[in-house]
Amino acid sequence: MTTTTDPAAEFETHRPRMFALAYRLLGSAQEADDAVQDAYLRWSKAVRADIEQPAAWLAKVVTNLCVNRLTSARARREEYVGPWLPEPVVTGSGALGPLDSAEQRDSVSTALLVLLERLTPAERAVYVLREAFAYSHREIAGVLDVGEANARQLYGRAVRRVAAGTPRFVPRPEQQRGLVESFIAAAREGDVAGLEKLLADDVTWWGDGGGRITAARRPIVGREKVLRFLAGAAERFLVGVELAAVEVNGWTALVARLGGELTAVASFEVREDGAIADVRVVVNPEKLTFVRRQLGAAGG
């Protein structure tokens, strides 16, 4: 039983973990913030004596709020203009919890969050609780108010559906950073040959503009097509743009600024042979609001 006399202060001690959970469930920093705030409203009205384990109580509330949000989000994302990508989050300062291992980093990677979009809300909740937060099947059953056997079935389906995607390679952090820095150097210098060496033959370029800003509305597939796209983009959009490497979603990413204003965040997926297999670029201004705030606060 909690004995704190300041519920607001106690909630703040749990907020970082609740945000980390909500973001993994929703793939949206702004929606995660909203879900955590909704959880706070429920927390503030709850009878303190009824809450034996605050962390568990809040995790259940946040998870179920997110499951409900995912149900409506699926319909919105089906109507989204162009590819839908998760909102980027700067993670170097611990915004999504400890990311000390490759597995922890991968739990918030853009690539995995994209794969999680293929799951039902319940499957996604079970997968995140099990994989990222090490919940037992019994604990997950309690969070979702389902039987333990049902929780196991949901987890099994989720694992199979995630594994059905393109096999993914998790690089060493220094390997990822070196590749992104090489990409930035080649882009700055207009070194087409250098970029060509970095890209896989079947590389795919994804651009998320949400219909609010110019971006490729369909994935661009193949090294030659991506290079042609980059050459055209450089002429139209990269004049005066500053490029830098920043840890985003657990891995080194590229951030672009024009006149000091953040304009794009690009995440890279690497193959085992060291070539770039996917580039996912968020340019939708609404999706850059959270990371812009982070970079501003950090002076980055």
Residues 23 and 29: beta-carbon distance below 8 Å? yes
Alpha-carbon distance 34 to 219, whole Å?
A: 30
Residues 58 and 43: beta-carbon distance below 8 Å? yes
- Mean pLDDT, residues 34-45 taken together: 96
pLDDT band at 5 (very low <50, low <70, confident <90, very high): low
Q: Residues 46-50: contacts with CB within 8 Å, 24+ apart?
A: 48/1, 48/2, 48/4, 48/7, 49/1
- Mean pLDDT, residues 261-268 taken together: 96
Listed range (23-27, 103-107, 141-145) with the worst mean pLDDT:
103-107
Bridge partners, residue 248, by sequence: 90, 251
Alpha-carbon distance 109 to 85, whole Å?
A: 11
Residues 22 and 62: beta-carbon distance below 8 Å? yes
pLDDT band at 190 (very low <50, low <70, confident <90, very high): confident
pLDDT band at 15 (very low <50, low <70, confident <90, very high): very high
- Mean pLDDT, residues 275-291 taken together: 95
pLDDT band at 299 (very low <50, low <70, confident <90, very high): low
Bridge partners, residue 221, by sequence: 204
Q: pLDDT by residue (tens digit) across 214-259?
A: 677 789 999 999 999 988 877 666 678 899 999 999 999 999 999 9
Residues 248 and 91: beta-carbon distance below 8 Å? yes
The pTM score is 0.92
Alpha-carbon distance 57 to 45, whole Å?
A: 13
Beta-strand relationship, 276-282 and 199-208: parallel
Superfamily name and number for 7-163: PhyR, sigma-like (SL) domain (1.20.140.160)
| CATH number for the domain running over 173-298 | 3.10.450.50
Alpha-carbon distance 48 to 197, whole Å?
A: 60
- Mean pLDDT, residues 26-46 taken together: 96
Domains 7-163 and 173-298 agree in fold: no
- Does 13 have pLDDT greater than 50? yes
- Does 176 have pLDDT greater than 50? yes
What is the amino acid identity at position 213? I
Alpha-carbon distance 138 to 142, whole Å?
A: 6
Residues 213 and 284: beta-carbon distance below 8 Å? yes
Question: In this predicted structure, what is the pLDDT of residue 297?
Answer: 63
Q: How many residues does the chain have?
A: 300
Domain boundaries, the chain: 7-163, 173-298
Alpha-carbon distance 187 to 146, whole Å?
A: 51
Question: In this predicted structure, what is the pLDDT of residue 2?
Answer: 46
Which residues lie below 8 Å from residue 99, measured CB to CB, with a gap of 6+? Answer: 91, 105, 108, 250
Give the Cβ contact number of residue 225 at 10 Å: 15
Residues 270 and 175: beta-carbon distance below 8 Å? yes
- Mean pLDDT, residues 3-13 taken together: 82
pLDDT band at 26 (very low <50, low <70, confident <90, very high): very high
Residues 110 and 280: beta-carbon distance below 8 Å? yes
Question: In this predicted structure, what is the pLDDT of residue 239?
Answer: 72
Any idea which residue has 């500053």 for tokens? 242
pLDDT band at 120 (very low <50, low <70, confident <90, very high): very high
Q: Which of 75, 83, 80 minimizes the C-alpha distance to 121?
A: 75
pLDDT band at 1 (very low <50, low <70, confident <90, very high): very low
- Does 12 have pLDDT greater than 90? yes
Mean pLDDT of all residues in the chain?
91
Q: pLDDT by residue (tens digit) across 55-97?
A: 999 999 999 999 999 988 877 877 888 889 999 999 988 999 9
Listed range (190-199, 244-253, 262-271, 290-299) with the worst mean pLDDT:
290-299
